[in-house]
């Protein structure tokens, strides 16, 4: 039987999204299960996931025989080992290495190909297969969400490195002295400044250190969405927050380019939705900071995948 379909699984801290995808990148059916109700019992989670996958395939009017493989994007997912290891936001994998790919394949009868990688790498494969990076062989995917993730594509392949963990560009140092403490324990990481959480930290710092008027002062908790809305309404401090964040990103991109000489930087994630405010300062800082041979040569593009489908599409693309 022709195997013309794949399944994409996007594992998040709270929910897991599952979808059957065809060769053109159409999501035929979608379902969601909880990731956070299994305690530390990885086997129970995998059993529930396998059941949901089977149900989803049936929903799409297909059978297991028509599925070429299952692609999984998961935090701390390792392509080489198929493990999800020490992922702080997944209770069933927080303190151990879970052989996710093998367990899921077995739960589906033992014959199914399961390919696993981390979320940002999955996003990179998704953009290359269905999205803004179609036709590109060398690009860097940057996901600007709660944290900053990355997937590096070299010659059409994701760069996994010696151990499968390559592409942690959220954790390069952008502030060497007195940098903010990052969730990873290091100081001055890109993620501590340019994630959704990072820009909110900058907002709180600026509001505390100055008396500049801003509509953000009235809020108890400031989210990146609040800053976006304030910028939309013309709030000057909010606008400068995006300038500052975009400038740090652009300078970091200049260093990334010196590494892998990509055709483009592709952006995805909640904070990337603020592209009208981020794009210009990002591009300016990148081109001012990059080596001359790359000035005005590397594009910054935004994901073209429909947001609700993107995570599933990215994961599913691994299975082709």
Binding site for its own copies (CB under 8 A): 137-138, 152, 154-155, 157, 159-169, 171-176, 184-186, 251, 254-256, 258-263, 289, 291-294, 297
* Nearest CB to its own copies, comparing residues 68 and 186: 186
* Nearest CB to its own copies, comparing residues 7 and 300: 300
Cα 243 to Cα 285: distance, rounded to the nearest angstrom: 10
Q: What is the 3-state secondary structure (H, E, C) of the chain?
A: CCCCEEEEEEECCCEEEEEEEECCCCEEEEEEEECCCCCCCHHHHHHHHHHHHHHHHHHCCCCHHHEEEEEEECCCECCCCCCEECCCCCHHHCCCEECHHHHHHHHCCCCCCEEEECHHHHHHHHHHHHCCCCCCCCEEEEEECCCEEEEEEECCEECCCCCCCCCCHHHCECCCCCCCECCCCCECECHHHHCHHHHHHHHHHHHHHCCCCCHHHHCCCCCHHHHHHHHHCCCHHHHHHHHHHHHHHHHHHHHHHHHHCCCEEEEECHHHHHHHHHHHHHHHHHHHHCCHHHCCCCEEEECCCCHHHHHHHHHHHCCC
* Nearest CB to its own copies, comparing residues 5 and 160: 160
* Nearest CB to its own copies, comparing residues 204 and 297: 297
* Nearest CB to its own copies, comparing residues 28 and 166: 166
Query: Least CB distance from residue 229 to its own copies, whole Å?
Result: 31
Q: What are 34's strand-pairing partners?
A: 15
Query: Least CB distance from residue 168 to its own copies, whole Å?
Result: 4
Query: Least CB distance from residue 135 to its own copies, whole Å?
Result: 12
* Nearest CB to its own copies, comparing residues 47 and 289: 289
Which of 167, 173, 124 shows the shortest CA–CA distance to 259? 167
Query: Least CB distance from residue 126 to its own copies, whole Å?
Result: 20
Query: Least CB distance from residue 18 to its own copies, whole Å?
Result: 28
Query: Least CB distance from residue 67 to its own copies, whole Å?
Result: 28
* Nearest CB to its own copies, comparing residues 163 and 218: 163
Query: Least CB distance from residue 171 to its own copies, whole Å?
Result: 5
Cα 243 to Cα 201: distance, rounded to the nearest angstrom: 15
* Nearest CB to its own copies, comparing residues 122 and 310: 122
How far is CA 130 from its chain centroid? 16
Query: Least CB distance from residue 295 to its own copies, whole Å?
Result: 10
């Amino acid at each position: 039987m022709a195997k013309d379909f794949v399944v994409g699984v996007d594992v998040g801290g709270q929910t897991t999204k599952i979808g059957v995808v065809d060769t053109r990148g159409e999501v035929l059916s979608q379902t969601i299960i909880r990731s956070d109700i299994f305690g530390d019992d990885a086997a129970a989670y995998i059993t529930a996931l396998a059941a949901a996958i089977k149900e989803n395939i049936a929903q799409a009017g297909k059978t297991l025989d028509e599925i070429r493989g299952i692609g999984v994007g998961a935090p701390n997912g390792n392509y080489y080992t198929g493990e999800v290891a020490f992922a702080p936001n997944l209770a069933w994998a927080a303190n151990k290495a879970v052989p996710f790919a093998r367990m899921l394949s077995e739960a589906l009868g033992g014959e199914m190909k399961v390919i696993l990688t981390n979320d940002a790498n999955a996003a990179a494969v998704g953009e290359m297969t269905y999205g803004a990076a179609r036709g590109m062989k060398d690009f860097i995917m940057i996901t600007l969400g709660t944290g900053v993730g990355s997937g590096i594509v070299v010659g059409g392949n994701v760069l996994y490195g010696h151990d499968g963990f390559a592409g942690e560009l959220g954790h390069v140092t952008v502030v060497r002295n007195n940098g903010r403490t990052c969730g990873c324990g290091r100081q001055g990481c890109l993620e501590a400044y340019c994630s959704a959480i990072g820009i909110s930290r900058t907002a709180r710092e600026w509001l505390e250190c100055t008396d500049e008027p801003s509509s953000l002062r009235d809020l108890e908790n400031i989210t990146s969405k609040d800053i976006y809305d304030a910028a939309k309404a013309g709030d000057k401090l909010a606008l400068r927050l995006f300038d500052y964040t975009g400038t740090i990103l652009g300078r970091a991109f200049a260093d990334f380019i010196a590494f892998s000489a990509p055709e483009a930087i592709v952006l995805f994630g909640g904070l990337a939705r603020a592209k009208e405010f981020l794009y210009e300062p990002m591009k300016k800082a990148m081109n001012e900071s990059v080596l001359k041979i790359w000035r005005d040569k590397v594009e910054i593009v935004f994901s073209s995948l429909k947001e609700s489908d993107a995570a599933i599409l990215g994961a599913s693309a691994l299975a082709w």
